[in-house]
Structure 1
Amino acid sequence: MNHHHLPSQTPAPVRNRLPTLFEVLSRRTLAPVDLLSFFIYMRDQQRSLDYLDFWLDVSQHAYFCRYYVSELRRSVLVGTPNSDSPSAHHHLYSIPDDGSDKETDQRLSAFLRAATPEPNLHTTQNDLDSPPNHSTLMSSNLDPSDPSSIGKRVTRADLRAHAEKILYTYLLRGSEREIVLPDPILQSIQHAIEDEGRDDPEVFNEARDYVFQAMERDAYPGFLRSKALGNLIPASIMARLILGLLGMFAGWWAAFSLIFLDIKPKATRLWLILPFFIGVYCLIAHQYSLDPIMGILGVSEYSWMNFMKVREPYVRRLLIKRSIWILALTIFIVVALVCLYTFVPGKRL
């Protein structure tokens, strides 16, 4: 599936808290706690990208269904002379376009089930190898009120093909990107699609909720620690550990050399501030997964040596506060070390 282009983000609401996983997945947050950052985290650190892709593809399927129904409603309104009569199309009017809650999806599914194709109308495996050109939420931003966002009319065959594509890609044992689901959920989905011929959004509800809870429990806390409380990726954290240890070694080596060579004047020892600052700064950045200078500048790393601006207001304030505290702690430790090795009497060996 193509994940090279994510949809543009909507402006984040003003919040004085960390965002929820649903807000991230719904693209209601900004960097570094946006959908792109979560996608990269699931791919590079959690190694569970298939779960995120499944959730997004199921959400995309719901968008397709809403678009299909909205187009069907529009065609009925255009083709019916007495379109102003509320009783003529009551069933279609009972399904809102936005699909903002479970009740909406239930009514949408009920409508689609009422027009479900015969169970023997399965798409072939060859059909699944060439699905419609809108297979993932990561590469399109569907809006049921905007037909140009899809590029072609979604047919019932498209819905059917997309539902089967999800089943054969993620759910069946030995599938290309198999995710682990309880057997009752898997069997229920397989029976609904293959035996009952269903393609409505409710088919995937249990699996979608299960995957969401798994990501919320196992992945999202680590994502928040990494992106909302820190601004470094694991490779940079390890690099700072190595650089910090080298800096501390250089500082101690220089300090003991100056002491045991009894170099005069003692003010020369003040140069120890350089290696000790590098060592302490990098070690504390490693410990907290946070580079304080980057934090104060409002920058976060999303891949090796690639950076993004911190645009989520609450996260930016949080990172600045933590950065100031960490920088103050660094300065305190460096000053203590420099004073200790500066005022120790020299003794030439």
Structure 2
Amino acid sequence: MATDSFSDVQQRNRLPTLFEVLSRRTLAPVDLFSFYIYMRDQQRSVDYLDFWLDVSQHMSLCRHYVRELRRSVLVATPDMENNGSKRSSAMLENLENLGDIPLAEAGPSRLRDGFQEDEKERDATHRLSAFLRSEGHGSSHSPQNSLGSTSAYRTPSNDPQARPSTGTRNNDHSNSPGHTVDRQDIRASAEKILYTYLLPGAEREIVLPETMVSTVINLIEDDGRDDPEVFDPAKDYVFQAMERDAFPGFLQAKALGNIVPLSILIRLIFALVAFFGGFWGAFYVVLRNKPRDVRCWVILPFAVAAYFIVSYQYKIDPAMAFLGYSEYTFMNWAPIREPFVRRLLNKRALMTMLVVFITAAILSILFIFVPGTLL
């Protein structure tokens, strides 16, 4: 999991980017958990986010596989030299040329943290895919085959929805716990993504350009590829779609407000009921010519009504914002941990409370000092 240090989060005096959210570098309420809930409950397009996460996991699986393969081959180098295996020597040379594979969070193929990916990392990603293509066509070598292990790989995930891992196997009978990735896992991962999201009529099919889907299908089924570059166009397309269509609404809902749509609707109902009670009481005390000290009680329903109507209008509960809480599902509150978001919500809460005070004061003063009449 890629995360920024606490000091880095404190220094980020801005709203996070989509990539920072997807790579788990943000805190509640603009973290991956909240974005997943937002995509599921409000956008109704969580399949796109799941596709992104599964493809990112596939990239991590490939990186772990190559790192473990390189490590196992380096350990077995003396035996390879004694046996004089040209194939093993060629593989060792390819792995040496590949270099060390970073385990950074996989992002869009051309972007990292909103900046152009540098030439070094682009080259590393390309070399990784090129090695997997050549290694896949040349043999079924894996760390398990070389060291006699049949253990499985499973990428750790802190996704709160307990999403099923893609292309993984579970086998507790491992005699090489340090080498946990099999080439078959990579193939199974690629096929699972294809069959789950991309094939026409798939269980969770996402809408992508037809030519893009056809290309991915041909690369996996006809060419036998399972390297990360197979999914790069689709992954970039999904990232841009989420960034354009979903992420602005997510920031507005979670960084500028702290309540969910159902709570917003309920606050509107409470506001209308409170306004009805306030105006009924106000007209009653005026038409019955009640003294001003009695009329002052109308400030209570007007204050409640103003609070809820402003909360509905600005999609924020000022009291909960001051307490440092945000609602991620109906009546489920979580602490606001992102420093910039908390400061922003506190400012908006202060502004909304000022509007509440002015609205309640104007309505109350109007009915307190208006001349009464006795009917």
TM tier, smaller = 0.7 to 0.9
Q: 1:11 to 1:135 in 2, by over 3 A?
A: closer
Distance 2:100 2:261 in 1: 45
Q: Secondary structure at the match of 1:96?
A: coil
Q: Does 1:33 align with 2:30?
A: yes
Distance 1:283 1:220 in 2: 26
Distance 2:55 2:156 in 1: 9
Q: Does 1:92 align with 2:95?
A: yes
Q: How many residues align?
A: 321
Structure 2 partner of 1:187: 214
Residues 3 and 23 in structure 2, CA contact (< 8 A), matched pair in contact too: no
Q: Does 1:42 align with 2:39?
A: yes
Once the two structures are aligned, what percentage of the paired residues are identical?
Answer: 54
Residue identity matched to 2:261: P
Structure 2 partner of 1:55: 52
Scaled by the length of structure 2, the TM-score of the pair is 0.80
Residues 285 and 292 in structure 1, CA contact (< 8 A), matched pair in contact too: yes
Q: Secondary structure at the match of 1:115?
A: helix
What's the CA shift for 1:154?
1.4
Distance 1:56 1:115 in 2: 25
What's the CA shift for 1:254?
0.3
Distance 1:183 1:235 in 2: 37
Distance 1:78 1:200 in 2: 25
Distance 2:215 2:99 in 1: 25
Distance 1:247 1:208 in 2: 49
Residue identity matched to 2:217: Q
Distance 1:32 1:103 in 2: 35
What's the CA shift for 1:81?
2.9
1:77 aligned to which of 74, 98, 102: 74
What's the CA shift for 1:118?
7.5
Q: Secondary structure at the match of 2:37?
A: helix
Q: Does 1:65 align with 2:79?
A: no
Q: Does 1:336 align with 2:356?
A: no
Q: Secondary structure at the match of 1:219?
A: helix
What's the CA shift for 1:104?
2.7
Structure 2 partner of 1:260: 287
How does 1:33-182 map onto structure 2 within 5 Å? 33-81=30-78, 89-93=92-96, 94-100=98-104, 101-117=121-137, 134=154, 137=157, 138=159, 139=162, 153-182=180-209
Q: Does 1:17 align with 2:28?
A: no
Segment drifting more, 150-159 vs 173-182: 150-159
Q: 1:296 to 1:274 in 2, by over 3 A?
A: same
Segment drifting more, 25-34 vs 10-19: 10-19
What's the CA shift for 1:336?
1.1
Q: Secondary structure at the match of 1:81?
A: helix
Distance 1:117 1:243 in 2: 66
Q: 1:324 to 1:90 in 2, by over 3 A?
A: farther
Scaled by the length of structure 1, the TM-score of the pair is 0.86
Distance 1:133 1:155 in 2: 8
What's the CA shift for 1:90?
4.9
Structure 2 partner of 1:4: none
Q: Secondary structure at the match of 1:180?
A: coil
What's the CA shift for 1:270?
1.1
Segment drifting more, 330-339 vs 235-244: 330-339
1:296 aligned to which of 313, 322, 325: 322
1:215 aligned to which of 234, 238, 242: 242
Residues 216 and 231 in structure 2, CA contact (< 8 A), matched pair in contact too: yes
Distance 1:336 1:230 in 2: 26
Q: Secondary structure at the match of 2:136?
A: coil
Residues 118 and 197 in structure 1, CA contact (< 8 A), matched pair in contact too: no
User: Can you give the 5+ residue segments of structure 1 that lack an aligned partner in the other structure?
Assistant: 1-6, 120-131, 142-147
What's the CA shift for 1:60?
0.2
Residues 99 and 105 in structure 1, CA contact (< 8 A), matched pair in contact too: no
Q: Secondary structure at the match of 1:154?
A: coil
Segment drifting more, 55-64 vs 331-340: 331-340
Q: 1:62 to 1:96 in 2, by over 3 A?
A: same
